[in-house]
Each structure stands twice: as structure tokens, then as C-alpha cells.
Structure 1
Amino acid sequence: MSLFHRLILGTSVLLLAGPIAPVAANPSESATPSACPAPALDRIQRHTVAAGESLEAIAEQYNLIPATLIGFNPQLRGGGVQPGMELKIPPYNGITVNVNPGQTWPELASAYNVRADVLFEVNGCQPPQAVAFIPGVNWSPTSSPETGLPEAATDADATLDGYPLPEPGETLLAYGWRVTGEDSKVVFHSGIDLQADAGTPVLAVEEGIVAYASDRGAYGNLVVINHPGGKQTRYAHLQSIEISLRQKVRRGDRLGSVGTSGSPDVGEPHLHFEVRSNSDLGWVAEDPALYLRSQVSER
């Protein structure tokens, strides 16, 4: 899968090695419009909800995540889908943002942590308009209504006092940069891999609301929980998911079980666990060991 598609799909792995096209100082002058697809916002489809359809099923039908549909359809924020609702369906996962007069693609790329050439192409190879589509950024319930991005995190009550497994697990792969494969690609591992037997319960580390609970490509079966204080935790490669979207959970509640779902090179059963903070750059990954170390020492 190309870097462009990784950014579009919003995966957590960013490949830095290999050929990457240079970003022009002014991308609006570096390509012809005929070489690009129509702007993403011009390709929004309409979907009328049928009886029996769920938000999750509609998102899967269009290869999107539920948060993307919620972000594009404010009527969904007060509850689930209802028969007869007409939904806007964007071509990719992402959000819309208001653009300040004179703002350039490189400036937007820096603000939202997305490559400038990707923004340029997805928005039709033209200068920024009043509203831009930002691929690979997820809308969340705490998003700013002006930007669609999560508001700046506040440290108040931003505690994660639990542990995601019944007992501490050996760290198979730590958070951070690493070199992998025969071609020596440099990749960023956005979480920590904790060894555990298949079927081991996976537990919520803090109270919160389930923001995602379904298959997510390379993540496999994934649960995402938004917590008070601008924190988010992610639990990946699960064998089973035992909670549902928008469900409230408490610290220690069972979310599912350890498995090997997702990428074909997952290897032995383990839990991929992430901690993220919301900011003006979206959900930014942090080192989970900073939170788990104190919990392990107390056991």
C-alpha cells in the first residue's frame, strides 16, 4: 500500500524510507488539474438510510469508519441512524476544515500533520478554497465545531490508572521508531505490544465512551475509547470485541480478548495498546509505557 493510501486511510504507521516525491514550495503551481481527480468535496455521495441499517454497516459499505460519517452528518451526533435519513458520504476518511484567507497547502499540511502534496491532490490540484478536506484525520465527539478537529487537551482529570490486561505482559515491541525488513524501512510504532495468550481478557484502563469497535484493516479488531481530559486509548488485534459503539465503560471493564487479527504479520498473540492525546494536530500518539509503568510497579 502506498504512502498516499496510508494517509488517506488514516493508519498509524508512517513509512519514511523509499522514494517520496518532493513537495513543491507552492504545490498549486506544480501540477495540472487534468492530472488530478475531482476534489474530494465534489465527490460526496448521498445515502438514504433503509430500515434495519446501522451506522457501522453503512460505514463499512463505503469503506469508512463511523466517526467519519458522524463528522459529516451532525444529525447523527444526537443518536443513531434512522430510516429515511439522508447522509453525506465522503470518498475517504477525513474531516473538513475552514481555511483562513491566504493560507497555503504547506501551512495546512504543517497544521494538520498531513503531506502538502496529498492535500493538494485530494482537493483537486488547486489553491486552497474556503473549506478544505483533510484526509486521514478522525472526527471525535470533542471536536471543535469550527475546525472539526479535537480541541486542545486539558490536563485536568487526564488520568489512566488501569492496566489493559489482567496481569502485566512482556513488552514484545516498544513505542517509537524502528528499522524493519530486508529493505531497512524506517517505521513508527505508535503503541506498545504486550504479550498475552489468545483469549486473555482485554480491559479498559479508564472510564470513557467507545468511539470505535470493529475491524480496522491492519489493526484487526480494534476498540477505541475516548476518556475525560483529552485522552484516548486503542486496543488492537483482538480475537473478539465484547462492547459496542458509544457504550460507556468503566475502568476494568472487559472490552474483548487478545488475538492475532489484522495484518498478516501480527505473529504471536498480543495486545497492541496505544495512548493518544487530542490537540490541534489531531490525536497525537504518546508512549504508553509512561502510563503503564506506574501500574506495573503497584502490582
Structure 2
Amino acid sequence: MNFSHRLLLLCSLVGTFGLTSTFVHSRRVDAADTCQTPALSRFQRHQVQNGETLESIAQRYNLTTTTLVNMNPAVSNGQVTVGSELQIPPYNGIVVEIPSGQTWRQVAEKYQVRADTLFEINGCQPDPRIVFVPAGNVSPNPLIRQSSPPTDTQAISISGYPLESVATVLMPYGWQIHPTTGEAFFHSGMDLLAPVGSSVQAIAPGTIVFAEQQGSYGQLVIINHSGGLQSRYAHLNEIQVAVGEQVNQGDLLGTVGTTGEPTFTEPHLHFEMRSSSDLGWVAKDPQGYLQD
């Protein structure tokens, strides 16, 4: 089967099943806070109407014409036929079948996409055989609807500490082994051991853009900082700030708790740093932003 026929088959599977049935495992490795509904399950169908062009359809869905052509091999010479149906992905990218003997991590490396981003966009599937590889113009993580990514992207350096005193790191950032299930998963932040009720404070000045319950994060506070940076404070017991509030370094955000679905039974603060990019809010190693 040649490449165009295989791509047509993949796109047909997307339209028919949303691709969820093509994954070897449908469950998530971990109740990862940032995991989205798999991109392959979010494809839409668009029936071409009279007067529409490939360009106008792409503009309607905030996509490039290249993406539409890649997703719809039947489109030839950039022309669409009235009454035909197009597969519309949630954002720009391509569908990739993982070659036998390779893993999605190797696919991420090949297409120069961060491994954690590819993992999250595909629903945190542990062993997918087909993945959606994003290109530019990917929408930000839908977790944050109250605020657009900061427009001030001048490189800056921020540092601070989210607790009143230095804490033991229960789990660092990066690929880890789940202490309960024994399975590998990507940890998008670091877990800092602290008693319930301990004060949680802002590591740098910024604006509160999220302050409420959010899935496995539990009680969550998110701060947007200048320079396109963001900090997240999860599993809180209490939240003592509100959306839109301006905070300074060291201001009280809430207290340590055990809400949501913590990885460990010991009370801790789950702390993340993220940066704004075309792929949304991309997780960064928090260690580089912590100042004891």
C-alpha cells in the first residue's frame, strides 16, 4: 500500500471512529493534569458548500491549506468539490502511523516536537500506534479560558520559592515511575513535601488567571507572569486569591492540601512552570526557577 493510500485509510479511520479504537490502550497512564481529549478524537467533518474554497475553509477553522490537503488526500490541486466532506483536525499538524519497532518518543524527536507535548495532545496514551503530530498555530491548552497568553514575550528571569521554607522533593519533573502503579508517566512539575495548611506563596509578580477546582489538579491557582511564563500551584486545601488579582512575590495564594488526585499520599504542593508557545503552555523544569 503506497503512502497516499495509507494516509487516506488513516483519515478515514479518524472520520469513522475518532481514532480512539485504533490505540492499543485507551486508558491514561496517569491522571495527568494537562491531558486533553486526544486530538484524533476531536476531528470534525465539513461538507463543502457552494462558493467555498480550500482557502476559505482553512480560514474558517484557523488552519493552513497545507494541513487540509494533508488530512484529505482526495483534494487535488487545491480544489474542493461541492458536497464532498473534509476531515478537519483541531489544529495544524499531521497524522502519523508509528513505524513498527519505534515509539512515539522517536516520532516526537523526528518531527522536533517536545515529547511531553505530543504525549498530552494525544491524550496521554501509553502505547499509541497512530498519533497526531502538531505543527504551528496550535491553540493554547483549553484549561485556561480566562486569559490569553501574555503578549509581553521579552525574555526575563524569575525566581522564588512557593513555600515558606525549602521542602523535600517527593517527585521531580520529567519521566517518572508511578509509585502506586509502577508505570512510566510524564510528571509536568515537581512535588514538594509540606504539611496540610502550610502557606503557598507566589514565586514572582503576576496576574491570577485561574483559581478553582480543576480535575486531578484539585484546588488550583495559576499565575501568568511577564515574559510569557506561568506558574501553577495544585492540590491546595484553600484558595485565598481570585481571578484578575495582581500578586507580588511572596503573596499568599492558599494552603497545602490533598485535593484532586495527588500522586503521593503524603501531603505536598504540586508546582509547575510553563512557557507560552505555539503549542500552548509548555511545561518547563521548575528547578531552574526555584530560589531557596
Same fold (TM over 0.5): yes
1:271 aligns with 2:269: yes
User: Is the 2:198–2:255 contact (alpha carbons within 8 Å) kept by the matching residues of 1?
Assistant: yes
1:99 aligns with 2:63: yes
| Shift of residue 245, structure 1, vs aligned partner | 1.0
Look up the SS of the partner of 1:212 in the other structure: strand
Report the count of equivalent residues: 192
Residues 1-299 of structure 1 correspond to what in structure 2 (within 5 A)? 25-26=7-8, 29-31=11-13, 33=15, 35=17, 98-103=62-67, 104=70, 108=93, 113=118, 114-115=121-122, 136=142, 138-139=144-145, 141-143=147-149, 153-155=153-155, 158-180=156-178, 184-263=182-261, 266-292=264-290, 295-296=291-292
| Shift of residue 179, structure 1, vs aligned partner | 2.3
Identity across the alignment (%): 38
Aligned to 1:121: none
User: Is the 1:138–1:282 contact (alpha carbons within 8 Å) kept by the matching residues of 2?
Assistant: no
Q: CA RMSD, aligned part only?
A: 3.4
Measured at CA, do residues 175 and 132 of structure 1 come closer, stay the same or move farther in structure 2, by a change above 3 Å?
closer
TM-score by length of 2: 0.57
| Shift of residue 246, structure 1, vs aligned partner | 1.3
Per mean C-alpha deviation after superposition, the further-off stretch among 197-206 and 180-189 is: 180-189
Q: Matched residues in 2 for 1:190 and 1:132: separation?
A: 19
> What whole-Å deviation, never above 9, does each CA across 1:86-144 have from its counterpart, x for those lacking one?
xxxxxxxxxx961111213595257884349x9xxxxxxxxxxxx9988756456344x
Look up the SS of the partner of 2:157 in the other structure: coil
User: Is the 1:220–1:263 contact (alpha carbons within 8 Å) kept by the matching residues of 2?
Assistant: yes
| Paired AA for residue 154 in structure 2 | T
Q: Matched residues in 2 for 1:258 and 1:141: separation?
A: 25
User: Is the 2:218–2:234 contact (alpha carbons within 8 Å) kept by the matching residues of 1?
Assistant: yes
> What whole-Å deviation, never above 9, does each CA across 1:64-83 have from its counterpart, x for those lacking one?
xxxxxxxxxxxxxxxxxxxx
Structure 2: gaps (5+ residues): 1-5, 20-59, 72-88, 95-110, 126-136
| Shift of residue 151, structure 1, vs aligned partner | 6.3
| Shift of residue 266, structure 1, vs aligned partner | 3.9
Measured at CA, do residues 252 and 234 of structure 1 come closer, stay the same or move farther in structure 2, by a change above 3 Å?
same
User: Is the 1:151–1:279 contact (alpha carbons within 8 Å) kept by the matching residues of 2?
Assistant: no
Measured at CA, do residues 182 and 265 of structure 1 come closer, stay the same or move farther in structure 2, by a change above 3 Å?
closer
Aligned to 2:48: none
User: Is the 2:138–2:279 contact (alpha carbons within 8 Å) kept by the matching residues of 1?
Assistant: no
User: Is the 2:176–2:185 contact (alpha carbons within 8 Å) kept by the matching residues of 1?
Assistant: yes
Measured at CA, do residues 152 and 210 of structure 1 come closer, stay the same or move farther in structure 2, by a change above 3 Å?
closer
Q: Matched residues in 1 for 2:143 and 2:239: separation?
A: 24
| Shift of residue 173, structure 1, vs aligned partner | 0.6
Q: Matched residues in 2 for 1:136 and 1:27: separation?
A: 29
Measured at CA, do residues 108 and 159 of structure 1 come closer, stay the same or move farther in structure 2, by a change above 3 Å?
same
Q: Matched residues in 2 for 1:280 and 1:207: separation?
A: 24
Structure 1: gaps (5+ residues): 1-23, 38-95, 119-130, 144-149
User: Is the 2:152–2:226 contact (alpha carbons within 8 Å) kept by the matching residues of 1?
Assistant: no
TM-score by length of 1: 0.55
Q: Matched residues in 2 for 1:134 and 1:159: separation?
A: 22
User: Is the 1:210–1:224 contact (alpha carbons within 8 Å) kept by the matching residues of 2?
Assistant: yes
| Paired AA for residue 243 in structure 1 | V
> What whole-Å deviation, never above 9, does each CA across 1:219-256 have from its counterpart, x for those lacking one?
11000000011100000000100001111111111000
| Shift of residue 29, structure 1, vs aligned partner | 3.4
